[in-house]
Structure 1
């Protein structure tokens, strides 16, 4: 499950060798139109994320992948699943380069992550945590078979009017849902 090939993508665990490309992706304001405060302004932030993602692979045998096109090796983005909430759920993540958006790549990366999560820990729910006004992300979550289970304020967002949605592959325990809502 470390390296996965789909019909159009090669997925490899995020590594320090991806720093330049992943920093450029995360620094691009076009991928942060729905959450401008998430944009990476320095390489150190991206490097810290990469280190955390590598730790996921070491500790849990799964984490986020760097996704590249099979045909030419072009960076598509980053995504997959990782354990969150002290190992109580799988978080779905996808961030796709603007030039590659609209081609189903977010769905492909996330679906590969869901398949890997189901093989490792099927008893854990799979969630997607997204902003309500991000219609593309909502559509991806729904294509993955996730359903909305919570709607409320986006704690910590600089925009006080931001609304956060939680999608899941099953009904969630009220205690877990409460922890997600406070996140």
Structure 2
């Protein structure tokens, strides 16, 4: 199997500066990862300790090396502060790309999530065009569902969210194309 195409670093969109996260980004990334306002959809996933965020940064580094693409630290162009993170990482042993993003609360409403997600999808299609792109979200996260829809993704699954501490939680999976059963299973794993 050939080595994966690796995406340039940084990537500049019209308004955003997308870079591989580094240890220098820990404080800003932890501010986003630990903000309870950003975890209302799934409070149990909030990272309380900086060491938890450092572990995630390390996981992203490994994903960049293995897959050629993963999660970026997001800045507004011309500014030093990291305002969030997002990108596409592989799920299910590399069967599907998972599109994800989380931006600081004071950055909501500017269209940054859509801009970031569009670039992540573009890069995922360059790195591994055969792998579908999914957005895996909870039903009450309507803002993320709007972003997925704006990007042309369609709802391909709605069902109980296995493992969620909230037994009433409903998981939605949006995808950029119809999913085969193994691809849906990978997205749900």
| TMscore range, shorter length | over 0.9
Q: 1:4 aligns with which of 11, 19, 24?
A: 11
- Aligned-pair CA distance for 1:115: 0.8
Q: 2:149 aligns with which of 122, 134, 142?
A: 142
1:80, 1:111 within 8 Å by CA — same for their partners in 2? no
Gaps of 5+ in 1: none
- Higher mean alpha-carbon deviation, 134-143 vs 65-74, is at 65-74
1:12, 1:67 within 8 Å by CA — same for their partners in 2? yes
Cross-structure match for 1:64: 71
Which has the bigger relative contact order, CA under 8 A and spacing at least 6? Answer: 2
- Normalised by the length of structure 1, the TM-score is 0.96
Question: Number of residue pairs matched?
Answer: 182
Q: Does 1:29 align with 2:36?
A: yes
CA RMSD of aligned residues (A): 1.1
Q: Deviations over 1:117-158 (max 9, x none)?
A: 111111110000000011101001111111000001111111
Deviation above 6 Å: which 4+ runs of structure 1? none
Gaps of 5+ in 2: 1-6
- Normalised by the length of structure 2, the TM-score is 0.93
Q: Deviations over 1:55-96 (max 9, x none)?
A: 111112211100101143332210010111100010001001
1:76, 1:105 within 8 Å by CA — same for their partners in 2? no
Q: Deviations over 1:19-53 (max 9, x none)?
A: 11111111100111111111111111111100000
CA–CA separation in structure 1 for the residues paired with 2:38 and 2:20: 21
